[in-house]
Structure 1
Amino acid sequence: MAGMAAKMILGNKLNSVKGELGNLAGGEGEGNDKDEEEAALIEEARQQQEEERKARHAKMEAEREVERQRIREKYGLKKKVAEEAGMPEPDDAGRITRKKKTPAEMQQALQQQEDEEEGFMDTVKGFVAPFAEKLGLDLFK
């Protein structure tokens, strides 16, 4: 307990002395400009690294696509076509996981869920309404 009190008293005094020495040595104005310049340099370096990474990944993907095309030609495989091209999706007979829903199917599922919730509320209102009428309460208006 006494040690903690001593640390608090001496710590505050040491921090104030350190702050005074820092102000005398460097000055506050110079530190802010240097910090801003360093932050700008760091941000520029990060952006450059991100561009290099994207270029490297684009190059690797192009190489992979060339290899995929070579394999397709070698074995006579056809490239998968997206739904946007008007081709139906292949049958999911051997698929382990469920088929992913299209945005229209997801919207329809949400609508059905909302309808079920409304049906539940109607059921609850049907049970509670007679009691509310007997008590003279207007709960559902």
Structure 2
Amino acid sequence: MERRTFVRSLGAVGSLGAVAAGANATLTASSTVTGTVEAKSITGRGGDESHTVLAHEGTLTIDDAEYRDEFSDWQDVTVDTALARQFEADYEDIYYNLHINHETANEEQNVATDESLAYRTDRMVFNSVQVSDAVQFKTTGADVPRINALE
């Protein structure tokens, strides 16, 4: 095969690969999920320790005694800037999670209607909703499901 013909055929194969990759990305684009916040949790991890604040309907569980006075009501679990800084000083990793009961399926994570899944999110999204709130969002994250923004 002539060198020019070979180089052109490589370009054509590369273009087909790019089109296939683009089509695959379109097929796996995030889907919109609607549901209800079933629970909210914050997990702080440092070394071998892990502590959780968990708010569920009617209950509030706080593992780390140092933070028990920071939260008093399962219906109002938010983290202001000062508390966020304290978490960051005490733990290597802080995870804000919304546990969602699905009204629509999340096909990317294989979650059916009426099933629940915990999604990681940032502090701003975490603070914007409470247990029992209805939410709608696009899913992100392959290994760890995330909510980047509510719709």
**TM-score exceeds 0.5:** no
Task: Give the number of the structure with larger relative contact order, counting CA–CA contacts within 8 Å between residues 6 or more apart.
Answer: 2
Higher helix share: 1
- Please say which structure displays the higher CA radius of gyration: 1
Higher strand share: 2
